[in-house]
Amino acid sequence: MFELLLERVLLNVVGPYIQGIDRQNLQLGVWSGNVTVHNVSIKPEVLRNLELPFKLKFSSVGKLTALIPWSNLGSKPVEILLEDVILIIDPISSEKWEPIEYKTVTQKLDRISNFVRLYSLKLAEKQNQQKVLHDTDPQSKGMAARITEKAMDNVQVKIFP
């Protein structure tokens, strides 16, 4: 059961960026807090989201290790170590990629600021509603959700050649 919980936490933390995590290549040191995955790759969307004139042709991460400090989860970082990282990228032709125009950057920043402001208001409203529910039901959050929340608050990524 604890292994399943660790797998879920790892998928929540690195899942948006890494593909190929499954039980066959997952090594868990449950009590030591070390979770190791071999032979995974970086998702192509990661490079696309950076808005660079490149596309990811191939990627490989030989070893991904998550060091989870169980006894100090609130005060020490969860470290994610990437070893043997290989990226092969292709340039995107100038016809298919438009560089960022700095005139529109301020417009985008304004839209982002408005979105953040509105989202913050909705989030605060939702938190107030959840607080009322949480005060009446202390078991409303599952163990996996609480651990994932703590882990996500304090993540550090290190890449080694």
The answer to whether 42 and 61 are in contact (CB under 8 A) is yes
pTM over 0.85: no
Q: Which pLDDT tens digit goes with each residue over 88-131?
A: 999 988 778 776 665 666 776 777 777 777 767 776 776 666 55
- What does the block give as tokens for 146? 């609480």
Phi–psi pair at 141, nearest 5 degrees: -95, 135
Q: What is the pLDDT of residue 123?
A: 66
Instruction: Write out pLDDT tens, residues 21-76.
Output: 877 777 777 667 788 889 999 999 888 777 778 899 999 999 998 888 877 777 78
Write down the pLDDT at residue 111: 73
With tokens 């990226």, the residue in question is: 87
Q: What is the domain partition of the chain in residue ranges? A: 2-99+143-160
Q: What is the pLDDT of residue 77?
A: 83
pLDDT band for 19, please (50, 70, 90 cuts). Answer: very high
